[in-house]
Structures are given as C-alpha cells and as structure tokens.
Amino acid sequence: MTAIRAAALPRTRKRGQRNLVAHLFLGVLILYFLVPIWWLVVASTKDASGLFNGSAGALWFDKDFALFQNIADLFTYNDGIYLRWLGNSIFYAVVGGLGSTVLAVLAGYGFAKFRFRGRSFAFALLLGSVMVPLTALVIPTFILLSNLGLTDTIWAVILPALLNPFGVYLMQVYAKDAVPDELLDAARVDGAGEFRAFRQVALPLMRPALITVLLLSIVGIWNNFFLPLAMLSDTHLFPITVGLYLWEGQAAANNGGGASLWGLIVLGSFVSIIPLIIAFLSLQKYWQGGLSIGSLK
C-alpha cells in the first residue's frame, strides 16, 4: 500500500518556490479548519458573561478563567444528565458499530466467495440500496417501529443502525482480492467446515478492512442526529447530539435566562468531541489505509 516514492529529486530554485506557495496554501487551510475548534477551546473557559461580551473578543481568553467551574456545572446540571448522554452515545456507537460490522463482514464474505443462486440479484439490490437516502428511511422506520411499540427505546436507535449496505460493499470488494480461493480450498481439503474456514483463514486476512468499516460505522452512529431525534422522546435515552440540540432549543427559547445554558452547550460540545479526536489521531493507520478500498479497483 505504501509505494516507495521517487525520492531525492533535484532541488531547483523553482521547486523551492513552489513548495513555499504550497506550504502557505496549507497554512491558510489549517487556519480555516482550526478556527472553529480554537473558538470552542477558548469559549469553554469563559463564564456566561465572558461568552457573550468577553474583554478579549470571541477568539481569545477572557480575564476570568472559568473552565473548572464550567466542568463542575456541566457534570452536575440536571442530576448529571450530560454524563448519561455521553454514556448513551458511547453505548449506541459501540453496540451498533460492532453489530453492523459483524453483519457486513459475514455478508461481504458471502458475496465475495460463494456463487449461490440469486447472488447477482441480491448484489444488485445491495448496490441499489447504497443510493437510498438513509434519512428518507427515518420517518417510515419511525412509523413502523411505533406500530410495534419500539420507539423511544434503545432498540429504536440500535437496530436501524445495523443496516450498513456500504460496509457490506466495502467488505465484498476487499474480501474478493484479499482472501485467495486456493487458501480456502486448502482449508476445506484439510476438513475444515465452511464456518471454520471463514473464521480461521478469511477473517484474519480481512482484518484491515474490518477495522475501517468498524471505525466508519462507529463515527456514523456517533454523529447521527436525525434518527435518534425522531425515535426518542425520553431525555434519559438521548445521545449527546440530540441532548445538545435539546439544550440549544431551551437556551434559545428564554434568551436572558438561557445564558448559563449556552455555556454548558459550549463546554458540552468540547468535551464530547475529545474521545473521537483521540480515536482518530491514534488509529490513523486504519482509516487512511481503508478509505481507499472503495475507490480503487
């Protein structure tokens, strides 16, 4: 995957200038992409008055450093509902992510390595479903689940998240090339059943793509907003995204009294992005390698 690049090109002056321009271009972009995050860090340390008319403006620290007070407020407000939301988000993302990945790995392997009757039709159906806008499914799924009495439960968030047609497609593309038929045949000759051949031969070979699909689906569920917003009305079941939306609505509804709530929203946003940012920085290898699966043939 990491091709050795043609190294040690002759360094001319023209090339040096071009590199300077490229670095300036990247510098400007870094600034653009980091400004909102920088603002969030700074704003998390301000108290309610500092947030709206701080002495040093929106992009610099106020003279009062209120971060620790804010953290205490955030974790105790409304009996610590924020921690509950954070826990819910982690629970939905991990359970839904693991579940959808298991289904995707099995199905991707099935599509890649077996020629059963109805395969081409089923695969065409799968590809068509990648094009179905998932949010267009939210309201129909809500109506269906509400007839079954399942809305406003954790199942209403977890079960629909198991549907990941793109994950199946990625696993199929990967398994087709990464798992040689000869190896599977050898395992069968040795008397391994189909499931054992899958577990002991194919699964280890599919691991890089598996981790990518797992990461992508965890991020997808963690960031999801429309589905839990439609499904849940018990605030104790909310994930962090819907919880922050609830606070935003409350803060906007009573402008003056909402000031302190805005502070919680800001710090709550900051705290909730920390786990994913850490995960991304530490698992770089996987998402970078894996994202090319779907696009390279």
Partner 1 sequence: MANAPAVAAQSPTRSRSTTANPKRHSTERRRQRVGWFFILPFAIVFVVFLVAPLGYALYLSLFSKGLATGTVFTGIGQYVTAFSDPSFLKGVWFVVRFAVVLIPVQMAVSLGVALVLDAITTRFARFARLMIFLPYAIPAVIGAIMWGFLYSPTFGPLEQIFGAFGADAPFPLSPENVFGGLLNVVTWQWAGYYMIIIYAALQGIDPTLYEAAKLDGASAWQVALRIKIPLVSSALVLILVFALIGTLQFFTEPQILRPSANGNISPDFTPNIYAYTQAFSYANFNYASALSFALGIVVFIAVYIFLFLTRKRGNLFS
| Rounded-to-integer distance, Cα 65 and Cα 227, Å | 37
* Tokens encoding 221: 């569920």
139-140-146 Cα angle (round to 5): 85
**Per CB under 8 A, which of residues 165..184 are in contact with partner 1?**
165, 168-169
| 189 binds partner 1 per the rule CB under 8 A | no
Site for partner 1 in 222-241 (CB under 8 A): 222-223, 225-226, 230, 240-241
Taking CA atoms, 140 is separated from 176, 178, 205, 288, in Å, by 34, 38, 38, 35
Contact with partner 1 (CB under 8 A): which of 61, 67, 94, 129? 129
Closest separation in Å from C-beta 266 to partner 1 = 8
CB of 259 to partner 1, least distance (A): 11
Applying CB under 8 A, which part among 61-69, 75-83, 203-211, 271-279 lies near partner 1? 271-279
122-128: long-range contacts, CB 8 A cutoff, minimum separation 24: 123/172, 126/165, 126/168, 126/169, 127/169
Closest approach, Cβ 182 to partner 1, in A, equals: 15
Is the Cβ of residue 68 or residue 116 nearer to partner 1 in the bound state?
116
92 binds partner 1 (CB under 8 A): no
- The Cβ-side half-sphere exposure at 116, using a 13 Å CA radius, reads 10
Q: Which is closer to partner 1, CB of 22 or CB of 183?
A: 22
Closest among 265, 269, 266, 263 to 223, alpha carbons compared: 269
Q: Is 221 in the site for partner 1 (CB under 8 A)?
A: no
Identity of the residue, 256 or 295, whose beta carbon is nearer to partner 1 in the bound complex: 295
Token digits for 120? 């081409």
Contact between 208 and partner 1 (CB under 8 A)?
no
The single residue among 72, 83, 143, 186 that binds partner 1, judged by CB under 8 A, is 143
Least CB distance from residue 199 to partner 1, whole Å? 12
Q: Applying CB under 8 A, which of residues 72, 183, 186, 277 lies at the interface with partner 1?
A: 277
The answer to whether residues 108 and 166 touch, using CB atoms and an 8 Å cutoff, is no
163 binds partner 1 (CB under 8 A): yes
Exposure string of 228-264, with b = 16+ CB inside 10 Å and e = fewer, is bbbbbeeeebbbbbbbbebbeeebeeeeeebeebbbb
Q: Any contact of residue 113 with partner 1 (CB under 8 A)?
A: yes
Q: Which of residues 9-68 bind partner 1 (CB under 8 A)?
A: 18-19, 22-23, 25-27, 29-30, 32-37, 39-40, 43, 51-53, 57-59
Q: Which is nearer to partner 1, 23 or 236 (CB)?
A: 23
Q: What is the DSSP string of 87-121?
A: HHHHHHHHHHHHHHHHHHHHHHHHHHH---TTHHH
The correct pick among 174, 198, 238, 286 for binding partner 1 (CB under 8 A) is: 198
Residue 2 host element (H or E)? none
The answer to whether 172 and 103 are in contact (CB under 8 A) is no
Q: How far is the CB of 252 from partner 1 (least distance, A)?
A: 3
- Tell whether residue 136 is a contact of partner 1 (CB under 8 A): yes
